[in-house]
Amino acid sequence: MTLDTVTHFIDGAATTSADGTTMPSIDPTSRTVWAEVSRGSAQDVDHAVAAARAAFDTGPWPRMTQARRSAVLHRLADLVLEHADELALLDTLDMGRPLSMTRANDVVRSAANLRFFADDAASAADEALPGHPEHHIYTRHEPAGVVAAISPWNFPLMQATWKIAPALAHGNTVVLKPAEQSPASATRLAELAVLAGVPAGALNVVQGTGPDGAGAALVAHPDVDLITFTGETRTGEAIMRAAATGVRAVSFELGGKGASVIFADADIDRAVAVAADAAFSNSGQICLAGSRVFVQRPVYEQVVGALAKTAAGLRLGDPRDPATQVGPLSSAEHHAKVTGHLRRAAEEGATLLGGGAREGWWVAPTVVVDAAPDAAICRDEVFGPVLTVHPFDTEEEAVHAANATPYGLSAMVFTNHVARAHRVAGLLRAGNVWVNCFWVRDLRSPFGGFGQSGIGREGGRHSREFFTEAKTVVIDVA
């Protein structure tokens, strides 16, 4: 891969599309093409899946000792950090996230993902089941096979490693299809994987589009055993339909419409700072974003004013400028979606406190008040730097409003009352609930969502359960 050319990576080598077609990768900052990307077809998917199948059926990766596999993944983590500046720039060029954040957070977290799953797999133990004097009964967790991994564009490298690391750690082989908006770091990661010692065919990358493209061909491929996907809910539904043929297992992290619930007894300065970060970080392009804020009425006006002031103080700019806090949105299509939501909200009677569209693909952080609870901006996943603020009186009212969504990925509670914190956390229908904080992760804990926010959990033993097949062995020892 060169800086202006991004290819597939199949069977240990950079590979162009079988039909020679390409697609552009557009820099959201300049809105110009910065790289030509190989555009995958069903033929390219066949090539990649065949390589992964051969690597699984007869190759060394599933047959290595766990210690050796884990050592290779640690070496890959080392290489990710050694190439941190390059990998961070690729993600910034692809999707506009500030370089200071891709470099300090995303690359570092990607290496941490690789290390965690390398160590977690190495420390995992099977079990023997006593109490059967004439039989020895024990379990084994064996690699499941060929994994189709489809990663999103909002955190390209970090989300790719969240899927690749546990799949490889447990002995599977992988075909990764990154989002078409953010292809570059995936191919570079696969190149580094070979340098680290991952055998040819164990990690493959096919670039391309989703529906009617490489993504659709990959999830429908009969030699794929597992599918892991992060993205929006409608795509997850389509993948489920494809996975039904052949009865393949799926693990999905899908859309979100997170709620921040701020009680009057909270530390208001802290609540505002955290809620604003949860809504506006990465230009709001986070599935976990707290895009709905519910505030107890005695502090409602105070919180609205503080949120609007915080939003107005965030610096928009070139993501390569270290001072930039808010970069552009990822694409023209996405910019049109977010600004369309803001226009519709204003037409329906909501009040927009500052923010809104700016030149290029930037949208300034926007606080929306007076929106009806069933308005589109309160109901749909906007996926931009936009939050709506709503007053409430009672705890029961707040919980009901926060749960009034088909999504259930994340929620936040701000209170200094310990019993209320535990009580409300237990009542919120969300897979991840933070109290007086946001984005704190322990990779051992289950990650996933309720309702239309996904299926299954990943992280620690939960990833092991998905990426392995559990087998019971019974031996007659009488």
Q: Give me the active site residues, please.
A: 253, 287
**d(Cα 53, Cα 61) in Å, to the nearest integer?**
12
Q: How many CA atoms lie within 13 A of 429 on its CB side?
A: 18
Q: What secondary structure, in 3-state letters, does 133-194 show? A: CCEEEEEEEEECCEEEEEECCCCHHHHHHHHHHHHHHCCCEEEEEECCCCCHHHHHHHHHHH
Residue with tokens 């939960």: 462
- CB distance 316 to 355 below 8 Å: no
* Distance from the Cα of residue 26 to its chain's centroid: 21
- CB distance 292 to 455 below 8 Å: no
* Distance from the Cα of residue 100 to its chain's centroid: 19
Across the strands, what pairs with 8? 15
Beta 13-15 vs 8-10: how paired, if at all?
antiparallel
For 171, left (φ over 0), alpha (ψ -120 to 50), or beta? left
Q: Which two tokens stand for residue 122?
A: 């190495």
Instruction: Number of helices (H) and strands (E) in the chain: give both, helices first.
Output: 16, 25
| Helix, strand or coil, per DSSP, at residue 326 | strand
Residue with tokens 């570059």: 184
| Helix, strand or coil, per DSSP, at residue 361 | coil
**d(Cα 373, Cα 390) in Å, to the nearest integer?**
8
Residue 35 phi/psi, 5° resolution? -155, 150
Residue with tokens 């292809």: 183
- The b-or-e profile of 302-338 (16+ CB within 10 A means b, else e) is ebbebbbebbeebebbebeeeebbbbbbbbeebbebb
Task: Name residues whose C-beta falls within 8 Å of residue 55's C-beta, 6 or more positions apart in sequence.
Answer: 61, 173, 199, 200, 201, 202
Amino acid identity of 446?
Answer: P
Residue with tokens 């007659």: 476
Across the strands, what pairs with 434? 412
